[in-house]
Amino acid sequence: MRDSTTSKEKILKKIRKALTHKSSQEIGDVDKESEIYTTSEEPLEIQFAQNFSALNGKFVFCENEAEFIENFDFIAKDNNWENLFCLEPNLKEVLIKGKINFSDKEENLLATDIGLTFCECLVARTGSVMITSKQASGRRLPVYANFHIVVAYTSQLVADIKDALKLIKGKYNNQLPSMISTISGPSRTADIEKTLVQGAHGPREIFVFLIDDAPLAD
């Protein structure tokens, strides 16, 4: 016990000495612009798909909105999905066109199993989905449903978090959302007896349907 206390005192003494004696070396300009990660040669959609899937997310690539409806309808039937909920006006138009039944009534929100939302962007390097409180879905829908379905477009892909934040700042100017969050895979925790549990405090599964909206080459 004495040896442990002595070792602790020695460490604390060194820390106090370092804090009271400034270094004589001058620190040069700090480079804040250079990349600190190796730049991948893979397309952003491939990077995102790989990193998102590694986090137990479900990824589906769609060539257009019609293929999204086809893929979504197949997966919904295969998983017996019911009680779909959506608040995004443009996404509701896509679902109506595809004859996908859903609810947008506030009183049905707490009972929903499947929440469909758009996102602000997709971060390729981390495989994350960035959402904000200024989206029509708000703060609640992405965390209330057992399954969170994100519909995104290839034009929303960015390389890194700093690019995502730059996009948000440019979009909202001086009126930033009160909540900016990144979702990296389904909700999970190991706090209880060190056992990994998915869906403990949010969706137990998250799907990203990525729709290609790149202009066709001439």
> In a 3-state reduction of DSSP, which class is residue 157?
strand
Q: May I ask the CATH class of domain 42-189+197-211?
A: alpha beta
| CB-based contacts of 147, cutoff 8 Å, min separation 6 | 79, 81, 113, 114, 115, 203, 204, 205, 206, 207
* Distance set, CA 100 to CA 35, 75, 94, 171 (Å): 44, 12, 9, 30
For the segment 4-21, what is each residue's pLDDT rounded down to a tens digit?
Answer: 567 888 888 888 887 777
What's the pLDDT tens digit per position in 142-171? 888 889 999 999 999 999 999 999 999 999
Domain boundaries, the chain: 42-189+197-211
Mean pLDDT across 126-147: 90
| Identity of the amino acid at 214 | A
Phi-psi region of 8 (alpha: psi -120 to 50; beta: other; left: phi over 0): alpha
